[in-house]
Chains A and B, each alone.
Chain A
Amino acid sequence: MTREWKPRLVAFFCNWCTYTAADLAGVSRLKYAPNVRVIRLMCSGRIDPQFILEALAKGADGVLIGGCHPNDCHYVEGNYKMLRRFQLLKRMLQDMGIEEQRVRLEWISAAEGDKVRKVVNEMTEALQALGPLGLPGRFEEWDREVEHLAATVQEKEAAGCACGAPAEPRDTEVAHV
């Protein structure tokens, strides 16, 4: 890459509140960082933790989730259900050594165009400060490590070593979940 690195932020917005708020930000001509790419879902409840992991794995530096405020969900309580999953996911990301600020959940109502601007800008700034996450590159590295280990094991097995289990590939295990 020749160009200067810029944070890449993927956002999942619910159709009724946060996506509409982002539309409102547009209609109000508020200005915010261009680093965000929004994916629209009907409800934040639809967000599968895999979406967030996939985004990070495919090169996002951060993920933003936007849903309706508590009690305001168009589908009664999809946002709560998302919140429950989100707590678990946060713990898992922590275990993986991914900084907490990289994944953020915000309740943004249809009227809060300015909050979209504020949150996107804040997050962009935070990611800028954290630097690239670079998971795709790290995956390659881990893959190489695993291959190397596999090769070593094979070699040893071929050499008739009876020790069985290979040396512990500590980081790789978690990262490939």
Chain B
Amino acid sequence: MAMEKQNQEPRIGFYVCHCGTNIAGMVDCAEVAHHVGTLPNVVMSKDYKYMCSDPGQELIQKDIAAHGLNRVVVASCSPLLHEHTFRGAVEKGGLNPFFFHMVNIREHDSWVHTDRQEATEKAKALAQAAIGRVAHHKALETKRVDINPTTLVVGAGIAGIHTAMTIANAGKQVVLVEREPTIGGHMAKFDKTFPTLDCAACILTPKMSAAGAHENIRLLSYSEVTKVDGFVGNYKVTIKRKPRYIDEEACIGCQDCIPACVFKTPKFADEFNEGLGKRRPVYIPFPQATPQIVAIDPNVCLNFKKGENGDRVVSDKCKKTCVEACGDKDAIDFTQTERFEEIEVGAIVVATGFQTYDATRSPSYGYGRYDNVYTALEIERLVNASGPTGGHVVMRDGKSEPKSVGIIHCVGSRDKKTNAWCSRVCCMYSMKLAHLLKEHTNAEIYNFYIDVRTPGKGYEEFYGKLLEEGVHFIRGRVGEVTDWAMTPEEEGKLVIRVEDTLAGMVRRIPVDMVVLATGLEPQKDAQDVRRLFNMSCGSEGFFLERHPKLAPVNTFSDGIYIAGACQGPKDIPDTVAQAGAAAAEVLALIDKGYVEQEPNTAFILEDECSGCKSCIPLCPYTAILFDEKTDKAWINEALCKGCGTCVGSCPSGSIVQNLFEDQEIFSEIEGVLAYD
């Protein structure tokens, strides 16, 4: 029996990896191998250039056979990277994969230390700990868990839509949740896309309506995820359906109610147009909105007017003309309230996007102080034919066209005082807006940049095109935008003061309009969303991928993936590529049909349990139960997630965690301290 073989005296094989020079450059690998070779139970000890390579893995397999090894330790990189690889190699060599332990001497040693002797000593100590530990390892079986084939996609911008469509096209069910009344996200607000200048709506809206109509997609707009329970393959998700005061089934999207509203002229700031346009209390964000269902804004609708004591007072000014216009469709329902719905899914893709930097945080550029300082997103709406001015670029006075425009790059990007990162898209969208503004107004356009970054297909060529069009490019981060004049030509203008760093002199440039190329930053509730889905955020606040290169759409929680700008600033092509990648990961998971769970669960030694029950309230998964007949506690393995909290606090020491048994950890402690 395998079990017997493995319970024999430990025969440990040890391997230390050079990782090229990544480890060997700072750790004397031969010396580590030599030292470990002298330890008890070690039958062979080797150093090798790349243990994770095929020959490296084969080496382990051959040695298991040749030397009768029953335990293997590899000292190389982080177990989070290659533990899986080496367990596989050990298994192929005929051993239970859990007779393996990995020592991290790269991320935790060679990369973070500068003294070769110290780093080598540390590697020896860590290896010695693993040798002590692995002797206590036991054969374990992994548990298979079935995967629910339905997927939840959170956020329906271009990333979420593309992910949902890809999964749905493969014949799998998707629930697509969007918190706004319409899907489409930021992309729906853009006029054109760079560098091809094709119209954003023309390429996005067909995708939006296809997603809305897809037989495998259940679209929940104006909804938010409020709770996530469970684990990979079996998540239980609670979704809040916010009241839009419209029966979604009954509304046919005729929009007859909108002009019927008692507000004869639209008077409330229109979010979709960045507040440049106005809407009524009953509205549809934009003509191609998906779903084609109106919404009623209770903050401004007279029907929801609150009295001084907070009670609803139905104003007699509201004639319910919208209800009248709706007629026997009877879709308007002022009594709607928040509803909660629970769904079950196997995988989740988070595609919650970004928000743009708040330009008032950079007061020297005068946004909010001077009328004609705009954000880039406002200009997107201003040049858009379906925007608030029908595509006429006029300034806030409503009539004059700008004759000169200054576009300031890197507002809220590359600035340690606000956001330190490069937002990746601003150079390109600034050039796009420069082109569009020139096309619409023939104004003199000045771009103020720190560096022009055009790393994309056709991007550098687009820069060339702009130069040919006569757009000015001035290398210098603008010092300030003010409205005081030094010369007659500056009277009544906004004056940009900047060092033209290439000319090596300070310039004052008067313009009619200033556009701030605001950067991309995490959504303001990113931290809440992160907690909801048990993800991590990088220091800048974007969601953290499992590995920056090899697992860019995975998170540290299995079954939860990220796509698009919630992971970091990116343009549309990259967002779509990442959305496709996330969909592929989900499909791979669903298609396999099951996941293997790490067998690091806990169990109770019945004989030793004193029945004190102190472990029971500690378990966040209610996996510990109490058997009244035997007066002992027991653990439901299916519910246990393997944190070990109960183990650490059992007064009688009668709970054991697989892979983290007390004896294993004590040996590790002894090991790290034994070496001198």
Chain A interface residues (CB < 8 Å from chain B): 1, 3, 8, 10, 15-17, 19-20, 22-23, 25-27, 29-32, 34, 37-43, 45-48, 50-51, 54-55, 58-60, 71-72, 74-78, 81-82, 85, 109-112, 117
| Cβ contact within 8 Å between B648 and A23 | no
| Cβ contact within 8 Å between B112 and A81 | no
Q: Interface 1/0s, chain B 652-676, versus A by CB < 8 A?
A: 0000010010100110111011101
- A sample of 15 inter-chain contacts (CB < 8 A) reads A1-B676, A10-B672, A26-B112, A30-B112, A31-B114, A34-B119, A45-B644, A45-B645, A46-B644, A48-B647, A48-B649, A81-B649, A82-B645, A110-B544, A111-B537
Q: Nearest chain-A residue to B548 (Cβ)?
A: A27
Nearest-neighbour CB distance to chain B for A23, whole angstroms, equals 4
B672 touches which of A37, A50, A75, A78 (Cβ 8 Å):
A37
CA of A42 to CA of B114 in the docked complex: distance in angstroms? 29
Q: Nearest chain-B residue to A84 (Cβ)?
A: B649
CA of A85 to CA of B125 in the docked complex: distance in angstroms? 28
Nearest-neighbour CB distance to chain A for B657, whole angstroms, equals 7
A48 touches which of B113, B538, B556, B662 (Cβ 8 Å):
B662
| Cβ contact within 8 Å between B107 and A22 | yes
B534 touches which of A29, A74, A112 (Cβ 8 Å):
A74
A29 touching B556 in the complex, CB below 8 Å, given contacts A37-B672, A46-B644: no
Q: Is B536 an interface residue (CB 8 A)?
A: yes
Contact residues in B for A23 (Cβ distance below 8 Å): 78, 80, 104, 107-108
Q: Is B156 an interface residue (CB 8 A)?
A: no
A37 touching B641 in the complex, CB below 8 Å, given contacts A46-B660, A55-B669, A81-B649: no
CA of A39 to CA of B672 in the docked complex: distance in angstroms? 9
Contact residues in A for B104 (Cβ distance below 8 Å): 23, 38
Q: Is B115 an interface residue (CB 8 A)?
A: yes
Contact residues in B for A54 (Cβ distance below 8 Å): 666, 669-670
Nearest-neighbour CB distance to chain A for B110, whole angstroms, equals 8
Nearest-neighbour CB distance to chain A for B642, whole angstroms, equals 6
Q: Is B409 an interface residue (CB 8 A)?
A: no
CA of A20 to CA of B113 in the docked complex: distance in angstroms? 17
B673 touches which of A34, A50, A59 (Cβ 8 Å):
A59
A51 touching B665 in the complex, CB below 8 Å, given contacts A20-B80, A23-B80, A77-B620: yes
CA of A48 to CA of B654 in the docked complex: distance in angstroms? 13
CA of A107 to CA of B567 in the docked complex: distance in angstroms? 23
CA of A51 to CA of B600 in the docked complex: distance in angstroms? 19
Contact residues in B for A30 (Cβ distance below 8 Å): 112
| Cβ contact within 8 Å between B660 and A37 | no
| Cβ contact within 8 Å between B106 and A26 | yes
| Cβ contact within 8 Å between A34 and B536 | no
- Categorize the interface residue count of chain B: 35 or more
| Cβ contact within 8 Å between A46 and B643 | yes
In B532-571, the 8 Å CB interface with A consists of: 534, 536-539, 544, 548, 556-557
A71 touching B531 in the complex, CB below 8 Å, given contacts A16-B556, A85-B648: yes
Q: What are the 3 tightest A-B residue pairs by CB atom distance, in nearest-first order?
A: A26-B107, A46-B644, A45-B645
Contact residues in A for B647 (Cβ distance below 8 Å): 46, 48
CA of A22 to CA of B669 in the docked complex: distance in angstroms? 19
A19 touching B80 in the complex, CB below 8 Å, given contacts A8-B673, A34-B118: yes
| Cβ contact within 8 Å between B78 and A41 | no
Nearest-neighbour CB distance to chain A for B473, whole angstroms, equals 34
| Cβ contact within 8 Å between A37 and B129 | yes
Nearest-neighbour CB distance to chain B for A101, whole angstroms, equals 19
A75 touching B536 in the complex, CB below 8 Å, given contacts A26-B112, A48-B648: no
Contact residues in A for B641 (Cβ distance below 8 Å): 75
Nearest-neighbour CB distance to chain A for B540, whole angstroms, equals 8
Chain B CB within 10 Å — which of A17, A42, A72 has the most?
A42
A25 touching B112 in the complex, CB below 8 Å, given contacts A60-B673, A111-B537, A111-B538: yes
Contact residues in B for A85 (Cβ distance below 8 Å): 648-649
Contact residues in A for B244 (Cβ distance below 8 Å): none
| Cβ contact within 8 Å between A109 and B122 | no
Q: Is B618 an interface residue (CB 8 A)?
A: yes
Contact residues in B for A59 (Cβ distance below 8 Å): 673
Contact residues in A for B126 (Cβ distance below 8 Å): 37-38
CA of A78 to CA of B539 in the docked complex: distance in angstroms? 23
In B44-82, the 8 Å CB interface with A consists of: 78-80
Nearest-neighbour CB distance to chain B for A90, whole angstroms, equals 16
Q: Nearest chain-B residue to A75 (Cβ)?
A: B643
Contact residues in B for A81 (Cβ distance below 8 Å): 618, 645, 648-649
A75 touching B620 in the complex, CB below 8 Å, given contacts A8-B673, A25-B107: yes
Known contacts A20-B80, A75-B645, A111-B536; 14 additional CB pairs below 8 A are: A22-B107, A29-B112, A34-B113, A39-B129, A39-B672, A40-B79, A42-B643, A45-B618, A45-B644, A46-B648, A46-B657, A50-B662, A51-B665, A54-B669
CA of A8 to CA of B125 in the docked complex: distance in angstroms? 11
CA of A47 to CA of B669 in the docked complex: distance in angstroms? 12
| Cβ contact within 8 Å between A39 and B669 | yes
In B611-654, the 8 Å CB interface with A consists of: 618, 620, 641-645, 647-649
Q: Nearest chain-B residue to A114 (Cβ)?
A: B539
CA of A50 to CA of B647 in the docked complex: distance in angstroms? 12
| Cβ contact within 8 Å between A110 and B556 | yes
| Cβ contact within 8 Å between B643 and A31 | no
Contact residues in A for B122 (Cβ distance below 8 Å): 34, 37
Contact residues in B for A75 (Cβ distance below 8 Å): 620, 641, 643, 645
Q: Is B111 an interface residue (CB 8 A)?
A: yes
| Cβ contact within 8 Å between B644 and A76 | no
A51 touching B618 in the complex, CB below 8 Å, given contacts A31-B112, A78-B643: no
A111 touches which of B112, B544, B620 (Cβ 8 Å):
B544
Nearest-neighbour CB distance to chain B for A137, whole angstroms, equals 14
| Cβ contact within 8 Å between B668 and A39 | yes
CA of A39 to CA of B108 in the docked complex: distance in angstroms? 11
CA of A68 to CA of B647 in the docked complex: distance in angstroms? 19
Contact residues in A for B538 (Cβ distance below 8 Å): 111
| Cβ contact within 8 Å between B108 and A26 | yes
CA of A17 to CA of B530 in the docked complex: distance in angstroms? 13
Q: Nearest chain-B residue to A47 (Cβ)?
A: B648
